[in-house]
């Protein structure tokens, strides 16, 4: 049996389907990816599209029970959008809040 034969199955209607289609129909999308020499991986396009990931989006990455888990990180700006009336938002709220946190942390040491 070849790798292609092993990764295919037949659906209820007799149509040939691939293993990833079975997994995605169960709510799971899995792919094998390789780690390059700089420890990078490429997220397959169908998974990136399903999660609506765009170039430059941030991901949380952690290890859980021997697995690498990635989850899209929500922007601080998105989390607080509409909660407060602000006359003028900073152009990059995330960077602004990081700077505020740095200044607060540095002021604690003095």
List pLDDT tens digits, range 47-94: 898 888 989 888 989 999 999 999 888 777 677 777 777 777 788 888
Spatial separation of the C-alpha atoms in residues 60 and 73, rounded to whole Å: 6
Number of Cβ atoms within 10 Å of the Cβ of 89:
12
Query: pLDDT tens for residues 20-56?
Result: 454 455 567 788 888 999 999 999 998 898 888 989 8
- Are residues 53 and 72 in contact, defined by beta-carbon separation less than 8 angstroms? yes
> Can you tell me which residue has the tokens 């990816």?
33
Q: Which residues of 44-77 are buried (b: 16+ CB within 10 A; e: fewer)?
A: eeebeeeeebeeeeeeeeeeeeeeeeeeeeeeee
Chain Cα centroid distance, residue 44: 11
- pLDDT for residue 2 is more than 70: no
């Amino acid at each position: 049996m070849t790798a292609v034969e092993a990764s295919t199955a037949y659906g209820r209607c007799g149509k040939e389907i691939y293993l990833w289609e079975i997994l995605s129909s169960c709510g799971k999308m899995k792919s094998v990816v390789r780690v390059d020499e700089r420890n990078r991986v490429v997220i397959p396009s169908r998974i990136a599209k399903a999660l609506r990931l765009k170039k430059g989006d941030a991901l949380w990455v952690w290890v859980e029970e021997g697995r690498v888990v990635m989850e899209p990180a929500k922007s601080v700006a998105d989390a607080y959008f509409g909660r407060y009336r602000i006359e003028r938002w900073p152009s990059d709220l995330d960077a602004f809040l990081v700077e505020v946190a740095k200044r607060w942390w540095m002021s604690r040491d003095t």
